[in-house]
Structures are given as structure tokens and as C-alpha cells.
């Protein structure tokens, strides 16, 4: 998608005859000045437009007003300082706002990532970007946003009009409010995940005057006794999957959370549903990590579902809020698959051993008792943490010993070997394709079907678009993410 956006941006620049070069002439006869390197606004040549060359840093030591700032797909603009920047249009490859007041009266078009760390950004016209990351500051887009790759928020405040997100939208902290008077306010084509902060979605008549919701957990901590408020009124949310880790969902003002393929709640505090909703599946008891699927209407009275918060799940200081494994780690903790390596650490970069992988799989399966408590492996002691897990996995054909008497529980497990064990635990399903996008995956080997299946199902996305890195050590973060994605297959 980024390539498409980049090509579109190039076409826009060429059609508008906006080309780099100091003091280039615009069609209107007004000048465009190059913006490159680190520049103070007070030293900036006065112009109607500026062209970003490579990486540029604009320090707002005075107020700046211009018609536009333009840049190609590789142009990166950083804005900082205490003053204001007012533009009609802004187009570039990536935008970083550290401080200051940025107002765009027309269009904002960024082919890469927009990062808001502080200050404020207001866009009164169209807002289009590949990815949006909010760690602080305030974002206002009354006309709504279009995000092609996704969005993550760990702090700050965002107030958006009707928003379309083609990728995942993850809320770790801060507050996000999305409103639309005409229809569904928030559409997320993949997963809407809430692990902190607050989300308010209002549509229809309710969107005219939504009640503000203050964030209760700006750190994104999911181990808490307070709630993470999510309020939905009107048609509200359309998403394939809505995931909440702890917190409170208040949807009693909403007739539907439309087209939600599944709603997954891990130890929520309270779920309040409209009168016409019903719970059709509850996988586990209320005192464990609960999973609910909510569908249809049956005219039942207003439904309240309460599940206990997992007060033993610790806040892991080594799991960043914006990491790819943040949600999987929270899921694994609430599901009792992993409690971390200490009360405050998860050790996401630590390579996993054969015993660790098998233990994760055993707990993922519900910690079933093995048929026999005897083993021929002399290096697997009865008092080891993974004793029952190893016996169970051997009985199920998930793993074998390296010899008849040796299991090597402390042996390193590569990414390829880990996927093979996960594939066997899933029942060894056959992949539909024999083609791999990864150049480093050999065909017609013991692990070929497992890797192809993992690619097809999304259990793995590789280390790059063309490499899987089969021999690389599998880390705790990778293993946890693989299992979380395996769990998500049951939601489809």
C-alpha cells in the first residue's frame, strides 16, 4: 500500500509541477523554497510554499504561515518548537511532530508514518496516511481519517470524525474519540485491540454532543483494578475483531457493533450490552480468561457480564507499548500461558528452548494430564517445570526426543523448529499452496508444510517480505506472537 501511495504522491507532485530546486516558480508565479536539514523558522526565507528535501527539521521559533509544504515519498519532515505552523496543504513521505501548534486548513497526505509526540495537530480537510502513531499531544480531525496500514496510540488525545482503518488499530493509552452523525463512526478492516486508555465511539444523533471520556490508564498497563472505558453509541464500530484486555465496554446505547466477526474479551471488568444483544458463546468460566462472541437479537433483558480481573498479571517493564508483541504478551499472561520471567519482566528477546516451547503449547492446550507419568528420557527430571508438558507432547506426536533416552530440554529452538511444533499441535493441516514468498525456505523438507501453512494462516509474516530466517533463534516474543495468531484463527 505504501508503494501505491508513493506512486500517487509522485503523480500529484508532477501534475502540479511541484519540483525540487531553490526558489522554484509555481504556476501562480509565487516561489517555492527548499526545506532541508535543520532550519529555524526565523531564518527561513519567506515563501508561499516549501519543498522538503530528504530529512528536514523545522524549529518553530516564530509563527509560520504558508500555502503548502510539499515533499516526495522519501521526504521526512520533523516539526518542533513552541510557535505555530499554519498551512493549506501538507504532503510528504513521513511527518513527525514533537511540539508546537500545527494547523492544516486543507489536506494532509503522508505516504508513510505520521508520529505525534507532543504539541497539537489539527487537520480541517482530508487526512490520509499509511500509519498513525500517537504517543502524546492532541490530534483533531473533524473530517475523519483514512489510514491504510493502521494506527497505534499510547498517549495523548485524538478526536476524529468518521475513520477508516485498513489495518490494525491498537489503543495502549491516552484517549481516542471517533464521531460521525451519518453512519458507522469507526471501521477497522482487521483488529481493533484495546489494552489501555479509553475509546469513545459515537454515531448517528448521539454523535452531536458526545460526553468526553478521560483516560484512566495512559501507560497502557493491563494489570489494574481500574477500568478502561469503552463507550459505543449508534452503529458505532465495524471491525473484524474487537479485542479488550481488561476494562469496561459500555455498548448499551448501541443497537449493533456492526459486522464484528468476533468480540474477544480477556478478563474484562464489565460488559454492558444493548437489550437486543445476546451472548452465544462463552468459552471459559468467569474467573478465568473469558472469550465471548456476541451476535444478533433475542429480545432478552439488558445483559451484564462480569469477569474477574487477573490481579496476578504483572506489568512487564521490558514490553514497550508500541511493540508488535504487546497484545500477544497481555493475552498470554491472562491465559496463564506465561507469567513472565519475573514479576516485572517478560524477557521478550530471550531465545526459547525445546522445553519452553513445549510448555507454552501444553498450557495453550489447557494443561492436559499425560496418560503416563513415566518417561525414558534420562535428562527430563520429574521435578522440572516442563515435565508433564514434555510427556504430553511426546504422547501427542508433537515432539520427539533427539535419541530414545535424550530429550535435550535446554536445546535451542529455531524459528523453523518452533513453527513445526506449533503446526503439529494444530493437527498438521495441509497448506493450500506449494509456493513460498520466502527465498530462504527450502521446499520438500520436514518443515516445508508447516512453514507454508503458517504463511497462509498469518501465524508468521516472516522477518522481511522475502525472508523467514528459519535458522534464527526463536525468542519468547516470537513464540508468544505465533501462539496468539494461532488463537486468532479460531475467530474467523
The tens digit of pLDDT for each residue in 324-353 reads 887 788 778 877 899 899 888 999 999 999
Q: What is the pTM of this model?
A: 0.64
| Percent of the chain at pLDDT exceeding 90 | 48
- pLDDT the model gives residue 302: 28
CB neighbour burial string for 368-381, b if at least 16 within 10 angstroms, e if fewer: eebeeeebebebbe
> In terms of residues, how long is the chain?
492
Cell of 105: 486548513
CB 173 within 8 A of CB 217: yes
The mean-pLDDT minimum among 191-195, 220-224, 322-326, 393-397 falls in 220-224
Average pLDDT, the chain: 78
Angle, vertex CA 320, rays to CA 314 and CA 326, nearest 5: 70
pLDDT tens string 81-100: 999 999 999 999 999 999 99
| H-assigned helices in 365-475 | 387-395, 415-425, 448-457
What average pLDDT does this structure show over 274-285? 45
For the chain, percent helix, then strand, then coil, each to nearest 5? 15, 35, 45
pLDDT tens string 258-278: 544 555 665 554 566 555 554
Rounded Cα distance between 186 and 165, Å, is 8
Higher per-residue pLDDT: 70 or 21: 70
**C-alpha R_g of the chain:** 26
User: Which long-range CB contacts under 8 A does 148-157 form with residues at least 24 apart?
Assistant: 148/1, 148/2, 148/5, 149/1, 149/2, 150/190, 152/322, 153/197, 154/196, 154/197, 154/218, 154/220, 154/321, 154/322, 155/197, 155/218, 156/116, 156/118, 157/215
Rounded Cα distance between 436 and 406, Å, is 34
| H-assigned helices in 134-271 | none
Provide the pLDDT confidence category of residue 304 given band limits of 50, 70 and 90.
Answer: very low
The mean-pLDDT minimum among 20-29, 134-143, 438-447 falls in 20-29
Greatest Cα pair distance in the chain = 87
Amino acid at each position: 500500500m505504501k508503494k501505491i501511495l508513493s506512486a500517487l504522491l509522485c503523480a500529484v507532485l508532477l501534475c502540479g509541477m511541484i519540483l525540487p530546486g531553490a526558489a522554484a516558480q509555481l504556476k501562480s508565479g509565487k516561489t517555492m523554497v527548499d526545506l532541508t536539514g535543520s532550519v529555524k523558522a526565523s531564518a527561513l526565507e519567506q515563501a508561499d510554499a516549501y519543498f522538503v528535501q530528504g530529512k528536514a527539521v523545522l524549529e518553530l521559533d516564530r509563527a509560520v504561515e504558508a500555502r503548502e509544504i510539499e515533499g516526495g515519498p522519501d521526504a521526512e519532515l520533523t516539526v518542533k518548537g513552541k510557535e505555530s505552523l499554519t498551512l493549506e496543504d501538507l504532503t510528504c513521505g513521513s511527518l513527525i511532530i514533537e511540539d508546537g501548534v500545527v494547523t492544516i486548513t486543507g489536506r494532509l497526505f503522508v505516504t508513510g508514518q505520521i508520529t505525534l509526540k507532543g504539541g497539537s495537530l489539527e487537520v480541517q480537510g482530508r487526512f490520509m496516511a499509511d500509519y498513525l502513531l500517537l504517543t502524546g499531544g492532541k490530534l483533531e480531525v473533524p473530517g475523519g481519517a483514512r489510514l491504510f496500514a493502521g494506527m497505534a496510540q499510547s498517549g495523548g488525545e485524538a478526536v476524529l470524525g468518521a475513520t477508516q482503518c485498513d489495518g490494525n488499530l491498537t489503543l495502549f493509552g491516552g484517549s481516542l474519540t471517533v464521531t460521525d452523525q451519518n453512519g458507522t463512526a469507526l471501521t477497522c478492516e482487521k483488529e481493533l485491540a484495546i489494552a489501555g486508555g479509553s475509546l469513545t465511539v459515537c454515531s448517528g444523533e448521539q454523535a452531536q454532543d458526545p460526553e468526553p471520556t478521560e483516560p484512566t490508564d495512559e501507560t497502557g498497563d493491563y494489570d489494574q483494578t481500574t477500568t478502561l472505558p469503552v463507550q459505543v453509541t449508534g452503529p458505532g464500530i465495524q471491525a473484524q475483531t474487537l479485542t479488550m484486555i481488561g476494562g469496561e465496554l459500555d455498548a448499551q446505547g448501541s443497537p449493533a457493533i456492526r459486522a464484528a466477526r468476533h468480540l474477544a474479551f480477556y478478563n474484562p471488568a464489565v460488559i454492558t450490552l444493548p437489550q437486543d444483544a445476546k451472548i452465544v458463546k462463552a468459552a471459559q468460566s468467569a474467573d478465568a480468561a473469558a472469550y465471548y462472541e456476541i451476535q444478533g437479537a433475542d429480545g432478552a433483558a439488558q445483559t451484564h457480564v462480569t469477569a474477574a480481573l487477573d490481579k496476578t498479571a504483572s506489568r512487564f517493564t521490558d514490553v514497550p507499548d508500541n511493540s508488535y508483541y504487546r497484545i500477544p504478551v497481555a493475552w498470554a499472561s491472562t491465559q496463564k500461558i506465561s507469567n513472565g520471567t519475573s514479576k516485572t519482566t517478560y524477557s521478550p528477546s530471550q531465545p526459547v528452548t525445546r522445553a519452553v516451547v513445549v510448555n507454552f503449547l501444553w498450557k495453550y492446550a489447557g494443561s492436559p494430564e499425560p496418560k503416563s507419568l513415566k518417561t525414558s528420557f534420562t535428562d527430563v527430571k520429574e521435578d522440572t517445570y516442563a515435565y508433564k508438558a514434555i510427556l504430553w507432547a511426546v504422547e501427542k506426536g508433537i515432539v520427539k526426543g533427539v535419541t530414545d533416552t535424550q530429550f535435550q530440554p535446554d536445546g535451542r529452538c529455531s524459528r523453523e523448529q518452533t513453527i513445526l511444533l506449533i503446526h503439529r499441535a494444530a493437527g498438521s493441516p495441509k497448506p493450500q499452496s506449494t509456493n513460498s514468498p520466502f527465498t530462504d525456505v527450502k521446499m520438500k523438507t520436514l518443515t516445508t508444510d508447516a512453514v507454508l501453512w503458517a504463511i497462509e494462516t498469518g501465524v508468521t509474516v516472516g522477518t522481511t517480505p522475502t525472508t523467514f530466517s528459519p535458522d534464527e533463534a526463536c525468542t519468547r516474543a516470537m513464540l508468544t506472537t505465533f501462539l496468539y495468531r494461532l488463537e486468532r484463527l479460531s475467530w474467523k
